[in-house]
Amino acid sequence: MPALITHALDTQSDGGHLERTLELATRAWGRTSPNPLVGAVVVKDGRPIGEGFHARPGEPHAERAALAACSEPPAGATLYVSLEPCAYHGRTPPCTDAILAAGIARVVVASDDPTSKARGRGVELLRSQGVEVDFAGEEVARAARLLNQPFRKHARTGRPLVVHKSAITLDGRTATRTGDSMWISSEASRARVHEWRAEVDAVAVGIGTALADDPLLTARLDGAGRPQPLRVLFDSGARVATDSRLTSSAGEEAPVLVVCWPAAPAAARRTLAAAGVETIVATGTDEPGRVLAALDALGKRGVQSLLLEGGPRLAGAFLDAGEIDEVRAFVAPVVVGGHEARGVVEGRGVESIASAHRAVDVDVERIGGDTLIAARMREW
């Protein structure tokens, strides 16, 4: 990895331009997977002369978009970019080629690219051709990294970033003792969930939730701007009915994947296949192990982000597997009581408070009549 800073940065001007690259990058939020969010600004004689961002896969990267938008020749200018430039040919040509062809004198990068095919290569190439390359300080670098947590986790582990969503009462319950849970959260909170579904690659629930709620799991938004997420059902015995809303709506626009355990009947899997539902078998000695196997399989097919909406048993398996990266909990101002009412997370859990999973960052927001707590459990 290159040094964070190789030359002294002008904190005020460089920082301002780098912050602009982050603002530009967010314009494509939820539309670039499997590519990262990236923004770029070209500055000459202290004046921005071009800016751009990566809009979606297959379209120009941010650096090329910014260079193409320049109002005057960019030779001798500084290029600010939120992610280090690529030096390999994917769907589009290397950004380093465009930077060198434009005569850019200096490049300032907000964060590294953790993929093995990219990390450091573009920076080394540019420096070898006489281009000055600087990296931002930690504050801006962290902000840039947080923009691309799914991309970064997938690059480093091969697995998707997992966000666990729940709606709970003030006494920490997700349903009453009879199993009723509709609706704990407000209409505004449920609308927010549809926004999240439109931003992720996959949405997952367990068979318990599928049988109790018969969910559709689609992102019901106008102009979402991207395909429906892959709908993933963790169903150990492949016992979901083919006339459920989930399976009966399976198709290319809203695909469904059922994750089974090795003991799932072959006949049941064939029935699902005939209904257009793909199944995979997750191996492992216990539920957490099978969660890991399923996440590996999802990662191999390019899934970088997964919204986990399942019940407490599935959430417990993910937590025991160490695979919950973020928690988003809508806390409703109601109390249901009852020792048989279900909590948020089951599984083995930890043995002491000292060994509990602790958030590294927490945000709180009022939405409708609820309180949304978003807790980042780790950073990539």
Residues 310-334 have a mean pLDDT of 95
Please work out, in degrees rounded to the nearest 5, the angle formed at the alpha carbon of residue 163 by the alpha carbons of 161 and 166.
165
Asked if residue 223 has pLDDT above 80, the reply is no
CA distance 60 to 282: 37
pLDDT reading at 329 higher than 50: yes
Contact 374, 362 (CB under 8 A): yes
Confidence check: pLDDT of 7 > 80? no
User: In degrees rounded to 5, what are phi and psi of residue 297?
Assistant: -65, -40
pLDDT for residue 224: 53
**Which candidate in 51, 63, 199, 326 is catalytic?**
63
Strands 106-109 and 39-44, by their bridges, are unpaired
Backbone torsions φ then ψ of 75, nearest 5 degrees: -55, 130
Strands of 106-109's sheet in order across: 47-53, 39-44, 78-81, 106-109, 132-135
Place of tokens 């080394």: 124
Model confidence pTM above 0.75: yes
Share of the chain above pLDDT 70, in %: 96
Q: What is the pLDDT of residue 12?
A: 62
CATH 3.40.430.10 fits 152-376, yes or no: yes
Residue 260 is inside which H or E element, if any? strand 256-260
Q: What's the mean pLDDT in 64-75?
A: 97
Q: Is 273 helix (H, G, I), strand (E, B) or coil?
A: helix
Q: Do residues 290 and 283 lie in contact, with contact meaning Cβ atoms separated by under 8 Å?
A: yes
Instruction: Output the pLDDT for position 2.
Output: 30
Q: Residue 10 — very low, low, confident or very high, per pLDDT cuts 50/70/90?
A: low
pLDDT band at 118 (very low <50, low <70, confident <90, very high): confident
Answer whether residue 88 shows pLDDT above 90: no
Partners of 230 in the β-ladder: 202
Asked if pLDDT for residue 168 goes beyond 80, the answer is: yes
- Position with higher pLDDT, 203 vs 117: 203
Q: What is the pLDDT of residue 287?
A: 95
Rounded mean pLDDT of the chain? 92
Least confident of 10-24, 131-145, 192-206: 10-24
Cα–Cα distance for residue pair 238/378, rounded to 1 Å:
33
Query: Closest by alpha carbon to 256, among 302, 216, 301?
Result: 216
Read off the pLDDT of residues 133-156 as tens digits, 9 standing for 90 and up.
Answer: 999 999 999 999 999 999 999 999
For residues 58-66, average pLDDT: 96
Superfamily (CATH H level) for 11-147 = Cytidine Deaminase, domain 2 (3.40.140.10)
Query: What is the pLDDT averaged over residues 104-116?
Result: 95
What confidence tier does 8 reach under pLDDT thresholds 50, 70, 90?
A: very low
State how far the alpha carbon of 284 is from the alpha carbons of 28, 216, 263, 272, in Å.
38, 28, 12, 22
The tens digit of pLDDT for each residue in 239-282 reads 999 999 999 999 888 899 999 999 999 999 999 999 999 999 99
Residue position matching structure tokens 């193409």:
68
What confidence tier does 161 reach under pLDDT thresholds 50, 70, 90? very high
Q: Which of 207, 185, 205, 200 is nearest to 310 (CA)?
A: 205
Map out the domains of the chain as residue ranges: 11-147, 152-376
152-376 shares the fold of 11-147: no
The pLDDT value given to residue 227: 84
Specify whether 340 is catalytic.
Answer: no
Tokens of residue 65, six digits = 């978009």
pLDDT at 9: 52
